[in-house]
Structure 1
Amino acid sequence: MKIKEVKDSFQNVSDYNDPLFLEFENDPRKGVQNIITNTKKRISKLEIEKEKFRNRFNFETELWNQGLKYVAGIDEVGRGPLAGPVVAAAVILPKTFNLVDVNDSKQLTDKKRRELFAKIKQQAIAYNFSVISNEVIDEVNIYEATKISMKDAVSGLKVQPQHLLIDAMEINTEIPQTKLIKGDAKSNSIAAASILAKVTRDNLMIDYNNEYPEYDFINNDGYGTAKHLLALKKFGVTPIHRKTFAPVKNLIEK
């Protein structure tokens, strides 16, 4: 077998006990031995990631072991920007959920988030989004708007959750809940919700960018970057800006 064919054969090997290792362990070609070494390194790295993934199910597993089948993770995105909505997502994952790459959305590339976005929805027992506009944010403040978005995301789930795992917040509901600081790094359910919320809001900001291209929303997501602030001074405040947030508020009051 040519070295390229050997390499292709090892591409999908994910177990140290795979018979391919035994077949080629005594192959004298340096290229083949490099393939074996690199494959073992890849498997080792994958095993570490799998272990981290299992650990991120500790909170869910404890609840599942109590007989609670439907545990929802809740997270939001968009608390800090000067423009656009705050978006929350709630998701109930099955015990068989196996997307090892799911993690805090901030740790993932846009491409990876979008790949996982579709896969999470495929595997989830239930999921839901809630989009709270900048008008509501200005009316009730961002903290209250975030709680509203989270509660609405939970309320719209097609399956009633028996427990909530929430990233750094508590919401007004009779459903038992656990508040986890940096929960998107501790719980797969919260991490999955963070990915759903992030991609949903990113898509909205892309639409807004098409409507208001001067503000560079496609790159800044509504945050106060230098280009965004310059556009605010030059072109003024748009209908999607949060008028209670400085420096937007300061421009209005001038």
Structure 2
Amino acid sequence: MASPSVTPDWAYEREHWRRGYFRVAGVDEAGRGAWAGPVTVAAVILPGLAQEYPFRDSKQLSASQREACAQEVRRVALSYAVEHAWPEEIERLNILGATHAAAARALARLDPAPQALITDYLKLRTSLPLSAPPRADALSYTVAAASLLAKTERDHLMLELDLQHPGYGFAGHKGYGAPAHRAALAELGVSPVHRRSYAPIRALLEAPTPLLTLPGPR
């Protein structure tokens, strides 16, 4: 996790601006490590004005701060899109492939279209100029903006899944491997929105069913 003292700037965007690419899309995801629910990818193009925004890596902010900043992203962005890859797609493509697929869908929806990309170490297959530095969500305003949309949109979905699948605690842990999540899985079993290829879920599915022990003769 990035240090809370880190403030994004426009250094990576300026590298593209100097080459004549002014519509630079930031791309980030939320939920890759979760055991349940989708992986969510956001793509955002901000105005190339090199001004300061309150946007930060979503992990540095409280839930209320993330919501306020996400609302501001939607207000100021030239274009933005959010896409989800659900467990079925994750099982079919693996988590990295599903993340790439969701990113491609989000980028295809941007209007105007991007001329260059910055991601948080997500090395997309693209013909566009791409910067993919580590910790870009903490260092780039554009990627921080995408981080905020991905995190808040996914959190909203996990609240809905909590209502649809009560007892698992999705509203609290958002599908990650918290102790409460482990306890709920042990009690309730695997739900339709769990990622069955993930080791803790696969282990539950592959565990032998206990044999019913009948009482012996008296």
- The answer, yes or no, to whether TM exceeds 0.5 is yes
- Tell me the amino acid that sits aligned with residue 184 of structure 1: D
Which amino acid counterpart does residue 20 of structure 2 have in structure 1? Answer: G
Report deviation, 1:65: 3.1
Does 2:70 match 1:117? yes
Give the SS at the match of 2:132. Answer: strand
The correspondence for 2:37, drawn from 84, 101, 105, is 84
Deviation at 1:97, TM superposition (A): 6.5
**Residue equivalent to 1:212:** 165
Residue 185 (1) aligns with residue 132 (2) = no
Aligned twin of 2:214: none
2:186 maps to: 233
User: SS at 1:141's partner residue?
Assistant: helix
Partner of residue 132, structure 1: 85
Query: Following TM superposition, by how much is the alpha carbon of 1:96 offset from its aligned partner in structure 2, in angstroms?
Result: 3.4
Aligned residue pairs total 203
- Opposite residue 61 of structure 1, the aligned amino acid is R
Local SS of the residue matching 2:161: helix
Other structure's SS at 1:222 match: coil
Aligned-residue offset at 1:52 = 4.0
Q: Is the 8 A contact 2:41 2:99 kept in 1?
A: yes
CA-to-partner distance for each residue in 1:24-54, whole Å, 9 max, x for gaps? Answer: xxxxxxxxxxxxxxxxxxxxxxxxx9x944x
State the match for 1:153 in structure 2: 106
Larger radius of gyration: 1
Q: Using the alignment, how far apart are the partners of 1:82 and 1:214 within structure 2?
A: 15
Query: Which of the pair has the greater relative contact order for Cα pairs under 8 Å at 6+ separation?
Result: 2
Structure 2 residue aligned with 1:143: 96
CA deviation vs aligned residue, 1:155-183 (integer Å, no higher than 9, x gap): 11111111000111111221111111111
Specify every segment of 5 or more residues in structure 2 that has no aligned partner in the other structure, as ranges: 208-218
TM-superposed deviation, 1:248: 0.8
2:112 equivalent to 1:164:
no
* Structure 2 residue aligned with 1:11: none
Q: Partner of 1:191: helix, strand, or coil? A: helix
Distance change >3 Å, CA 209–CA 228, structure 1 → 2:
same
Structure 1, residues 70-103: CA drift from partner, whole Å, max 9, x if none? 0000000111011000000000000237553211
Cα distance in 1 between the residues matched to 2:74 and 2:50: 11
Larger helix proportion of the pair: 1
Q: Which runs of 5 or more residues in structure 1 are unaligned? A: 1-48
Normalising by structure 2, report the TM-score: 0.89
Aligned position for 2:200:
247
Under a length normalisation based on structure 1, what TM-score does the superposition of the two structures give?
0.76
- Deviation at 1:113? 0.6
Which SS does the other structure have where 2:27 is aligned? Answer: strand
Percent of aligned positions with the same letter in both sequences?
Answer: 37
1:31 maps to which residue?
none
Task: Tell me the distance in 1 between the aligned counterparts of 2:199 and 2:137.
Answer: 28
